Amino acid sequence: MANVVVFNTVSLDGFFTDVQGDMSWAHSPDEEWQRFTEENARGGGTLFMGRVTYDLMVRFWPTPTAARSFPAVAELMNSLQKVVFSRTLETVSWKNTRLAKGEPVAEVRKLKQESGNDMVILGSGSVVSQLTDAGLVDEYQFVLYPIILGKGRTMFEGVTKKLALELTRTRSFRNGNVLLCYKPLNA
């Protein structure tokens, strides 16, 4: 059975986007960090995202700017299989992307049984909260950025059940970022 992994950046005050939905603060021009993101992207699997995250990513990763700035990550982002959960989109244009119009919980439950590849959720707070509430997330990987936003969105908005987590690994980076990995205790 495939695992569902959340991989998201978060500010010190717990937000994954600012109030305008911007995530540009979560980019570190640092060689060690760049190597880590390239290695992490090579893990493969299927990427899950909601419409807002899709809109942000499709405007960057398939572009010549992305290919010049982050060649290895851009190549992987464009070649990986992607599923976009949306009730409003009619089509998706990004290579290797499939539109899922149904409920994320039902779709992910089915894919977990069928797929051998891990599934990674990037951004997509509404998808994260729905799958968390349904007990479908196997691992949370948060990159804590040394920034305070003051206001923003939490990726767990709408979660109705308390969920205890166990810290499984950490990694500190010279740029101040800290990777924190957790598994649900009752998984």
Nearest to 122 by CA among 2, 4, 35: 4
For residues 49 and 99, the answer to whether their CB atoms sit within 8 Å is: no
Tens-digit pLDDT profile for residues 41-54: 666 688 899 998 89
Give the per-residue pLDDT at 137: 95
Task: Quote the number of domains for the chain.
Answer: 1
User: What is the CATH classification number for the domain harbouring 22?
Assistant: 3.40.430.10
Q: Above 90 in pLDDT, residue 136?
A: yes
Give the per-residue pLDDT at 67: 92
Give the per-residue pLDDT at 31: 81
- pTM beyond 0.85, yes or no: yes
Give the per-residue pLDDT at 44: 67
| Residue 118 confidence class, pLDDT cut points 50, 70, 90 | confident
Question: Which residue did the predictor score with more confidence, 93 or 45?
Answer: 93
Q: Above 80 in pLDDT, residue 116?
A: no
Q: Above 70 in pLDDT, residue 183?
A: yes
Nearest to 48 by CA among 113, 114, 126: 126
The dihedral through the CA atoms of 128, 132, 134, 136 has a sign that is: positive
Give the per-residue pLDDT at 43: 66
The dihedral through the CA atoms of 16, 21, 25, 26 has a sign that is: positive
Give me the domain span that covers residue 88.
Answer: 4-184
Tens-digit pLDDT profile for residues 163-172: 999 999 999 9
C-alpha angle 56-3-165 in degrees, rounded to nearest 5: 90
For residues 122 and 141, the answer to whether their CB atoms sit within 8 Å is: no
Per-residue DSSP letters for 26-70? G----HHHHHHHHHHHTT--EEEEEHHHHHHHHTTTTSHHHHHHS
